Amino acid sequence: MQIGLNILHSASILVLIATGFALIFRTTRFFHFAHAIIFAAGAYLVFTFKGKIGLPMALAIPLGLAGAAILGCLIDFLIYRPLRRKKASPLILLLVSLGLYVLLQNLVSMLFGDDTKVIRSGEIREGIHILGAQLTSIQLTTIVTGLFLLCMTSLFLKKTKLGRSIRAVASDPVLAELSGIGSNTIILTVMAIGSFLAGMAGILVALDVDMTPTMGMQPLMLAVVATIIGGTRNVWGIALASFMLAAAQQCAAWMIGSQWQDFAAFILLLLFLLGKPKALMGEDSSKNAV
């Protein structure tokens, strides 16, 4: 039971960052590695609003989420959009995103230091007992939040006009432009949504454990794996892939040690690509490769 709850908790974090990453990848067609610093930025913005300015947590978290979404939009508007206008290749955009990650991560280090920061407050209390297993209140909140935002994202993409426009640009940006759908506006919207989800994941992780400027890269690598396995056409494929990766990690930690968690995840990717080089929902994983 404890392993099952740990899997649900890990999958809930992973599905948030992976869904945002996959949405951005599907519409822009390159790996947005600066997504990792958005993950960390959400946590550090909450730390700033709560710890430095003194705002209550109920206000600091929404402001942190808004700041993460705005940062994602600024990256697209100031950096990616001019490069798209100049017909930059996906490889160029990928390299730029890596440079942005390094730049912004070092900026966070300069502003806050490289030491571990904490944003949670109050007394440490005993976790919630569920059939002999324990789960903290923030871990339970993470599971509920991950499932809720996954459902809302799926409904948004399928049932709203803006969601259908996002899917149109992702499928064929040229045809979408001819139909009157502005791809730049849609990409900016997707950057805001993806950054919001990444910021939420970062805040939940920081509330549960601690935070450092480099906290986003390891979850991003797992998000890339989840995107490759689950595909980008269906958020539920990403959810299933996230659950599989979380299960592989938690079982590896239980049976052979926590240092083997990432190894187990990438072994799963290797086995998946060797056995079935298509996404779980039927999409060719390599079709939109950078």
Phi, psi for residue 285 in degrees, rounded to 5: -65, -25
The pLDDT value given to residue 286: 40
* Residue 174 structure tokens: 């040229």
> Which residue did the predictor score with more confidence, 282 or 24?
24
The pLDDT value given to residue 67: 96
The pTM of the full predicted model, rounded to 2 decimals, is: 0.90
Instruction: Write out pLDDT tens, residues 82-102.
Output: 999 999 999 999 999 999 999
The pLDDT value given to residue 261: 83
Measured from the Cβ of residue 179, the count of other Cβ atoms closer than 10 Å reads 11
Q: 283: Cβ–Cβ under 8 A, 6 or more apart, which residues?
A: 231, 232, 233, 237
> Which residue did the predictor score with more confidence, 129 or 55?
55
* Residue 136 structure tokens: 């903290």
Is the pLDDT confidence value at 263 over 90?
no
> Which residue did the predictor score with more confidence, 41 or 172?
41
> Which among 96, 97, 91 is positioned nearest to 290, based on CA atoms?
91
DSSP 3-state helix, strand, coil percentages of the chain (rounded to 5)?
75, 5, 20
The pLDDT value given to residue 259: 79
* DSSP sequence for 97-160: HHHHHHHHHHHHHHHH-SS-B----S---PPEEETTEEE-HHHHHHHHHHHHHHHHHHHHHHHS
> Which among 152, 121, 120, 149 is positioned nearest to 11, based on CA atoms?
149
The pLDDT value given to residue 78: 95
Is the pLDDT confidence value at 135 over 90?
no
Cα 246 to chain centroid distance, Å, stands at 14
Q: How confident is the model at residue 125 (pLDDT cuts 50, 70, 90)?
A: low
> Which among 150, 186, 161 is positioned nearest to 13, based on CA atoms?
150
Range picked from 12-16, 115-119, 208-212, 228-232 for highest mean pLDDT: 12-16
Is the pLDDT confidence value at 290 over 70?
no
**Weakest mean pLDDT among 34-38, 100-104, 160-164, 261-265:** 261-265
Q: How confident is the model at residue 242 (pLDDT cuts 50, 70, 90)?
A: very high
The pLDDT value given to residue 105: 95
Rounded to whole angstroms, what are the CA distances from 124 to 5, 43, 121, 222, 223?
20, 20, 8, 30, 30
Name the residue ranges covered by the structural domains of the chain: 2-116+127-214
Instruction: Write out pLDDT tens, residues 188-226.
Output: 999 999 999 999 999 999 998 889 999 999 999 999 999
What percent of the chain has a predicted confidence (pLDDT) above 70?
92
Is the pLDDT confidence value at 249 over 60?
yes
Cα–Cα distance, 246 to 123 (Å, whole number): 29
> Which residue did the predictor score with more confidence, 268 or 224?
224
Cα–Cα distance, 29 to 25 (Å, whole number): 5
User: What sign results for the dihedral spanned by CA atoms 34, 82, 196, 164?
Assistant: negative
Task: Output the average pLDDT for the chain.
Answer: 88
The pLDDT value given to residue 283: 53
